Chains A and B, each alone.
Chain A
Amino acid sequence: MRAILATLLAGFFSVIALGMLGAGAFWVKYEKPEPQPIAYPHDLHAGKLNLECTHCHVYVDKSQYATVPAMKICMDCHKDAQIVSPEIDKLKKFWENEEPIPWQRIHSVPNHVYFSHERHVKFFAAKGETYKDGQICAKCHGNMKVVKEVKQTRTLKMGFCVSCHRAEGAPTDCWTCHKS
């Protein structure tokens, strides 16, 4: 009887231990972001230098895609700015080799979703909101003026979308967002 109990207990705790291990592995796999090829500081560019979001994300109010800026946009400033940093050296190396920087994607919606940055930015801009902290972009991306490394701070799942659509009186028909 004792032996059976011991086995059961051991089994029980080993299951818990396995679960914890699993959770750990899950965190590594799902939560911890992959390092970016260049440690680009949003807090410096958007925060300290106070550049408008559209300075680099030029298509955010023109296209459904905000787009990660073309490297030429980086180099327009950095070829003159006399800043010495190992990260900028990396950037210059990519530029010299004419290689695109393989950024790690952080925010994404599934393929079956139609999401237009242009539509959303224009909507909030029409309400008088701006790119300043807590306003337009921050609704989905968090306040980028204070983060060093970009992390996903909203779920960007359907519930998140629909709650905002309801609050703002936007359409909630399926094909508003689901691709036909």
Chain B
Amino acid sequence: MKRRDFLKFVGMASSATVLASCGVEKSTEKILPFVVPPQDPDYIPGDSMWRNTTCTECGVGCGTSVRTVDFNAVKMEGLKGHPINDGALCLRGQVSLTRLYHPNRVKNPRTLRRGGLALGGKYEEITWEAAYQLILDKMAEAKSKGLENVYLAGNTTGSLSAALNEFCAATGVERLPHYEALPYATLREGYRILFGQNTMPEYKTGEADFLLSIGADVVETFNMPVAQASGIQEAREKHHLKWVHLEPHASMTGFKADKQHKIRPGGEAHFLTYLLNYIMESKLNEGNLPSGIPSISKAQAAANTGLSESDLEHLCEMLAKAKNPLLIVGGVSTAHKGGLNVAVLAGLVQWAAGMIENTVSFSTGRSLQGVGNMNDMTALGRRLQTSKIGVLFTSRVNPVATAPAATGFGENYTKAHFTVAFAEFFDETADMADLVLPLSDDLESWGDVEARRGLLGVVRPVIKETIYNTRTEGDLLLTLGKLAQGMEATETYEAYVKARWAGRLGGAEGIDAAVAKGFVDEKPGRLNISLQNGAVAGFLGQMKMGAAIDGPVLYCVPSVRTGDGRSKVLPLTSEIPDPLTTVAYGGWVSVSKASAEKLGLQNEHLVIKERPVVKVEANSVSLELPHVVQPGLPEDVYVVQRDHMSTVMMEIDPQTGEPLGLLSGVSVSDAGRNEKLAIIAGAIEQGHRNITREEHTHHHDHFHGDETLYPDPYDRYPDYRWGISVDMETCVACNACVAACYIENNIPVVGEAEVLKGREMAWLRVQPYYFTEESGEVTLDNLVMMCQQCDFAPCENVCPVYATNHDHEGLNVMTYNRCVGTRYCHNNCPYKVRRFNWFDWTNEGYWNGPMARMANPDVYVRPKGVMEKCTFCYGRIRVAKDKAKDEGRLVREGDITPACAQTCPTHSITFGNLKDQESQVYKQSQRDGSFRALESLGTSPGVHYVRKPSQRKEEHA
């Protein structure tokens, strides 16, 4: 072929291609309009409808407001004005929305033929009718054999509790004490002995001016963490709260207190006794203390607590000086063999210092009276073992995996005549059950929760119909009761609940108001709490105080990501890293620096996601997990999260039935091999960079007239310069913002293999930076790191296709369909906040199936090969600007709240217009101690951080 012909040929071919690629692409999409439009008065296609309900991820009962768009729930937020959480929501609450759309939910009733999978048995999906019939047959069979049918559920309150009682009465089923993996058994037993209150009070941190917390992780998992964290912030503002935390290990709560002291494991009772002695000596006791409180000398107390004598004295004085003190004891400090002593002594201090019904409120205490403990489970295990149980119902619990082996429950579970599990997911218990009945999610159900005295939390469906073939537990009970012909049943559980509400709330109007509001606060009267002198004196008489524990100990602690472990089933709780260590997936043992050196563990290669494995052995426990060096952890103290050891290994306190979180006599050794561990942070110290403690280069007038040849960037912004300010003093690093960001912005969960390659997609991370102060104390700065929206953004200059550039509101704009994926911007970003889509998560993987219904329609689901990053929730900015335009004004302060700021329990994140000098964010940016990350690079970020007071120059001077 001649060259000329070749060219002709090519020319033809290419013009044909050009021809084929122009013109309008014809859509093959169908539009299916409504036959009859929805009747909801607030329905507008594509707009948000908010439905108020109650979060049931844990037992606290926070109010939530669920954003639905076109009848899909896309975001869950804390309910403003709710007496418990007032707008805030924790990590787990945020993530709980994914429970609804989880593709692995139980979708149909299912039986497992006895003999199980091992014998080639098969699962069989059956109809609801067949399932009901099967249960009735088995119940009758059991009765005829003289066996007892029992019902074991997680904590059940409100209408469901009433329905359960009716069901049990009608069918002769025994209702067992509720099973909770974290039962607060020791504390409740302590409060029962002291005041006859078998429950947890509300700790009103918001009203305290001095907070002394011992062992309890008050801003992580303990009792009501969101309310407690919010309260601490409130008290800091209103009452100049001083917060001292004592703990034997290292927790986020400890790092976030104003001052933390390490206490020797098992030394808590000695410290509290010393406090009581001080109270008696200095005649502070407002309530009469009973006799029999042991006396302890300062030297003894110092020796057993590990605190210096001056520290002891100082703490006592602080308590004496405080007008409204609050003592919170719990967590690891009551989860050991002397835990009940600690609980009772702590209650006595609360009584003597006048905290009871002041800052420790039983009047608004939690509804945990029906919750049992592990001793109850032991009793059940024994009944199972002796084949006395007929039909065993379990609902919303997974005791096979979470009840300690000593209870004998898991071992004997299959010895019941027939086992029925009501479950949302297949877990260890449901996997072994003869019959699994799928439960509807609480976002698909009617119901109510009475998580605390006098507070009715409404549970209502937020979507039109259930996603799978599921029923609510209430409906199951009513139907079964009706079929057993013993129970006058209402047609549906919805009708049942509403009939109960009608009586309580005053008819249909009252119900409508309650459903619209999401809760009814009946403001219950004050309880008359008094010390039960006889019982207390009796307890004190036989109390034996053990000495503090020597030698290596292992603490098993709950995680802020999964609580008692039930949130572990949601993948996002594993993808979001642990706040202290930044470990995303997998388990680890936290080891102190000194112990790691002693054991000869190599920790040279911090960046490589691999760690030497340690072997931890104690009486009942044997663990082999990679180790992470935890700064601030005392020598010989090892910490593992409950999620990563089988809780089955835990011991039980025979006195109270508490699963014990402290193991002594532990031997730890180097297992001699390394294992992969998905650690996000390359380093947890700042080295010479000093990001959070950089010298002040911050000019107060830097917005206008910074000395530079370049024009003022603010001249480019006509109306707005969006900015964020993060207060590092009040931030408790709970990571709720991270979870909120994931859900709001359609960020995919990529899984462990990808995280190990450094391909996590979080737009927002809470970076821990540890420091060893001159005093030797280890402190922690948490840098909430998102796109800094720089005025002179390094990412913009390097984009070859102009996919990322600057807009007229100070934002660094990412245009996804323009991006070709060179990742130059990622390379050039000094903050490492840009994320690359290595895979298509849109059609496969995360956004597949029902999960697609959760995607926020205001935010694009990014395809493979493009960069993405924080946008300051531009979808929300757009909504606010639309509204402002409708009203013919500019956006005002408070119109926009990004997802991270919205969910923050401590209001540490402020968003606003930096051009408006009246705005909160501007004022924060001008505060003493305000700085911008890596300011010396000249990027001029729009995010300001406010240093902790101890780090502010002016306070040192």
Binding site for B on A (CB under 8 A): 8, 11-12, 15-16, 18-19, 22-23, 26, 29-34, 59, 62-65, 67-72, 94-95, 98-106, 108, 110-112, 114, 116, 118-119, 122, 152, 155-156, 171, 173-175, 178-180
Q: Check if B45 sits within 8 Å of A30, measured CB to CB.
A: no
Q: Which residues of B contact A69 (CB under 8 A)?
A: 33
Q: Which residues of A contact B811 (CB under 8 A)?
A: 175
Q: Check if A179 sits within 8 Å of B860, measured CB to CB.
A: yes
Show 8 A/B contacts (Cβ-Cβ < 8 Å), sorted by A: A12-B5, A19-B15, A64-B47, A68-B33, A105-B27, A106-B27, A175-B811, A180-B860
Tell me the interface secondary structure of chain A in the complex: loop
Given contacts A30-B26, A65-B45, A67-B45, A15 and B32 within 8 Å (CB-CB): no
Task: For A65, give the chain B residue with the smallest CB separation.
Answer: B45
Q: Check if A62 sits within 8 Å of B44, measured CB to CB.
A: yes
Given contacts A15-B13, A59-B45, A102 and B24 within 8 Å (CB-CB): no
CA distance A34 to B30 in the complex (A): 11
Among A108, A112, A155, the residue within 8 A (CB) of B816 is A112
Q: Check if A180 sits within 8 Å of B36, measured CB to CB.
A: no
Q: Check if B808 sits within 8 Å of A100, measured CB to CB.
A: no
CA distance A156 to B13 in the complex (A): 28
Among B9, B807, B859, B886, the residue within 8 A (CB) of A122 is B886
Q: Check if A29 sits within 8 Å of B26, measured CB to CB.
A: yes
Q: Which residues of B contact A16 (CB under 8 A)?
A: 12
Q: Check if A31 sits within 8 Å of B808, measured CB to CB.
A: no
Q: Check if B24 sits within 8 Å of A155, measured CB to CB.
A: yes
CA distance A22 to B16 in the complex (A): 8
CA distance A175 to B5 in the complex (A): 48
With contacts A22-B20, A63-B46, A70-B34 known, what are 5 further pairs, Cβ within 8 A?
A103-B31, A116-B882, A174-B815, A178-B813, A180-B859
Q: Check if B34 sits within 8 Å of A26, measured CB to CB.
A: no
Q: Which of these binds chain A: B160-168, B333-341, B502-510, B871-879? A: B871-879
Q: Taking the complex as formed, is B145 at the interface, i.e. its CB lies under 8 A from any CB of chain A?
A: no
Binding site for A on B (CB under 8 A): 1, 5, 8-9, 12-13, 15-16, 19-20, 23-37, 44-47, 805, 807-809, 811, 813-817, 858-861, 871, 873-875, 878, 882, 885-886
Q: Check if A70 sits within 8 Å of B36, measured CB to CB.
A: yes
Could you tell me the distance in whole angstroms from the C-beta of A149 to the nearest C-beta in chain B? 14
Task: For B860, give the chain A residue with the smallest CB separation.
Answer: A179
Q: Which residues of B contact A152 (CB under 8 A)?
A: 24
Q: Check if A100 sits within 8 Å of B24, measured CB to CB.
A: no
Q: Check if A173 sits within 8 Å of B807, measured CB to CB.
A: yes
Q: Check if B33 sits within 8 Å of A64, measured CB to CB.
A: no
Q: Which residues of B contact A32 (CB under 8 A)?
A: 26
Q: Which residues of A contact B37 (CB under 8 A)?
A: 70, 72
Task: For A69, give the chain B residue with the smallest CB separation.
Answer: B33
Most buried by B among A31, A100, A110, A155: A100
Q: Check if B35 sits within 8 Å of A95, measured CB to CB.
A: yes
Could you tell me the distance in whole angstroms from the C-beta of A148 to the nearest C-beta in chain B? 19
Task: For B878, give the chain A residue with the smallest CB separation.
Answer: A114
Q: Check if A174 sits within 8 Å of B19, measured CB to CB.
A: no
CA distance A112 to B858 in the complex (A): 9
Q: Check if A15 sits within 8 Å of B23, measured CB to CB.
A: no
Q: Check if B24 sits within 8 Å of A30, measured CB to CB.
A: yes
Task: For B26, give the chain A residue with the smallest CB separation.
Answer: A30
Q: Check if A15 sits within 8 Å of B9, measured CB to CB.
A: yes
Most buried by A among B15, B25, B886: B25
Q: Which residues of A contact B809 (CB under 8 A)?
A: 173
Among A15, A110, A119, the residue within 8 A (CB) of B882 is A119
CA distance A72 to B948 in the complex (A): 61
Q: Check if B874 sits within 8 Å of A180, measured CB to CB.
A: yes
Q: Check if A12 sits within 8 Å of B8, measured CB to CB.
A: yes
Could you tell me the distance in whole angstroms from the C-beta of A26 to the nearest C-beta in chain B? 5
Q: Which residues of B contact A22 (CB under 8 A)?
A: 16, 19-20
Task: For A151, give the chain B residue with the smallest CB separation.
Answer: B24
Q: Which residues of B contact A33 (CB under 8 A)?
A: 26
Q: Check if A103 sits within 8 Å of B30, measured CB to CB.
A: yes
Could you tell me the distance in whole angstroms from the C-beta of A29 to the nearest C-beta in chain B? 7
Q: Which residues of A contact B25 (CB under 8 A)?
A: 30
Could you tell me the distance in whole angstroms from the C-beta of B390 to the nearest C-beta in chain A? 47
Task: For A58, give the chain B residue with the smallest CB separation.
Answer: B37
Among B19, B29, B33, the residue within 8 A (CB) of A100 is B33
Q: Check if B36 sits within 8 Å of A104, measured CB to CB.
A: no
Task: For A71, give the chain B residue with the smallest CB separation.
Answer: B35
CA distance A106 to B26 in the complex (A): 8
Given contacts A30-B25, A34-B28, A105-B30, A171 and B808 within 8 Å (CB-CB): yes
Q: Which residues of B contact A114 (CB under 8 A)?
A: 858, 878
Q: Check if B860 sits within 8 Å of A112, measured CB to CB.
A: yes
Given contacts A68-B33, A70-B36, A119-B882, A173 and B808 within 8 Å (CB-CB): yes
Q: Check if B45 sits within 8 Å of A179, measured CB to CB.
A: no
Task: For A66, give the chain B residue with the smallest CB separation.
Answer: B45
A-B complex: 4 closest residue pairs judged by Cβ atoms: A180-B874, A173-B807, A180-B871, A179-B860
